[in-house]
Amino acid sequence: MKQSQFGELSVIGMRGCESFVNQVDYYLKDWRRHGGDDTYLVDVDCPRFGTGEAKGFLHESLRGHDVYIICDTFNYGVTYKMYGQEVPMSPDDHYADLKRIIAAIAGKARRITVIMPMLYEGRQHKRSHRESLDCAIMLQELVNMGVANIITFDAHDSRISNAIPLSGFDDVRPTYQMIKALVRNVPDIVLDKDELVIISPDEGAMSRCMYFASVLGLEIGMFYKRRNYSIIVNGRNPIEAHEYLGKDLTGKDVIIVDDMISSGESLIDVAMQLKERGAKRIFAFTTFGLFTDGLAKFDKAYAEGLINRVFTTNLVYRTPELLEREWYVEVNMCKYVSYIIDTLNHDNTISELLDPVKRIHKLVDAHKKKQISQMRMEFEN
């Protein structure tokens, strides 16, 4: 072990994260000049009995190690058998397995960091009536089990960190990676306030949109949701209408920014209203693409010209069908997560990784120079 490391590095990928952690392991080995059969990945398992009960099992000792556990609690693409039936793993099942692995480590690791891209029960972050506060309880449980740091991405409400004020909690936003994917996949996009507008689909997404608009020097518009608070449908008050606040959108490209796509109804409704207001092309930036109601409505919206591209990260499970869609663009976060792990393992600050303004400006300048160069070439020809 190098003296500069906090502890011997070990990375655990929970079920459904195999592809993601393999890429993370590749970057870590490349940067640290490890090759061959060497790996930072730890072999763990959560075998189950016929009743569905399970236990956590480590195949090697982690005494004194600096352990990073990556867990996608929203991966319904993995299953287990219960009474002979194939059961898709729910967020509760993934969270229970995470606790089992932490329990199997039994306090022997020097430090445990949990990387949970989308927070388990993150949308249940505040109490409106007589109801549970599941996300806060989850954070407190992990800390009580010995977890030193919790890293998440684009938390639905980052104030949930108040549940564990004396413990490490980092809320990372993939702003740079989203913009990088945009300029690569839409090379003719003009990053100028006269050509492009950032749109917030509701009040909750305004802070994200304000950041995008600020670092890119763009105008911002907002929709607010008019809900019917007299009834509850599928666990929430249904949206009756989206009202727009902002400048004229005629002939401009727009980017809708939000933390997640659940069913997609709100996004498509907003896109429809943007088109009615004269928007040219519509792109969506969402960290987590859940698509709980399937892909048909997005296929229809794309065919009708309502949306042009939907950008989501690979931090949560995506179906093979989604990856094949022409309108879909995957934003790969494996290298970024590898940077975070490598930096923390050397006990260095990740402040620069969390604040990508300089990298964004460098990317935007390079994109604009490339467009100017292409315009000159076309003019000369």
Q: Which residue has tokens 């991966």?
A: 75
DSSP at 245 = E
**What are the backbone dihedrals phi and psi of residue 251, each rounded to the nearest 5 degrees, phi first?**
75, 10
Q: What residue type is 124 in one-letter code? A: Q
Which of the two residues, 218 and 235, has the higher pLDDT score? Answer: 218
Which residue from 216, 208, 132 is spatially nearest to 182, judged by alpha carbons? 216
- Residue 381, pLDDT above cutoff 80: no
**109 contacts 120 by C-beta, under 8 angstroms:** no
What is d(CA 204, CA 202) in angstroms, rounded to the nearest whole number? 6
Tokens of residue 359, six digits: 């990298």
Which residue from 213, 204, 208 is spatially nearest to 174, judged by alpha carbons? 208
**196 contacts 221 by C-beta, under 8 angstroms:** no
**28 contacts 342 by C-beta, under 8 angstroms:** yes
**What are the backbone dihedrals phi and psi of residue 152, each rounded to the nearest 5 degrees, phi first?**
-130, 170
pLDDT in tens, 239-284: 666 678 888 999 999 999 999 999 999 899 999 999 999 999 999 9
- Predicted confidence at residue 243, as pLDDT, reads 79
pLDDT band at 129 (very low <50, low <70, confident <90, very high): confident
Strands (E), the chain: 8-13, 44-45, 57-58, 65-70, 79-82, 85-88, 111-115, 149-153, 168-172, 196-200, 219-227, 239-245, 253-261, 282-289, 309-313, 328-331
Helices 134-144 and 91-105: crossing angle in degrees, nearest 10, is 10
Number of other residues whose CB lies within 10 A of the CB of residue 141: 14
pLDDT band at 232 (very low <50, low <70, confident <90, very high): confident
16: three-class secondary structure by DSSP: coil
pLDDT band at 144 (very low <50, low <70, confident <90, very high): very high
pLDDT band at 1 (very low <50, low <70, confident <90, very high): very low
Non-local CB neighbours of 93 within 8 Å, separated by 6+ positions = 80
Pairing of strands 44-45, 57-58: antiparallel
- Residue 3, pLDDT above cutoff 80: no
**88 contacts 95 by C-beta, under 8 angstroms:** no
Average pLDDT score over residue span 348-366: 92
Write the DSSP string, 68-112.
Answer: EEE--TT-TT-EEEETTEEEEPPHHHHHHHHHHHHHHHTT-SSEE
**What is the Rg, in whole angstroms, of the alpha carbon atoms belonging to the chain?**
22
Name beta bridge partners: 151: 115, 170
For the chain, give the percent of residues with pLDDT over 90. 81
Average pLDDT score over residue span 289-314: 96
**The residue count for the chain:** 381
pLDDT in tens, 101-127: 999 999 999 999 999 999 999 988 888
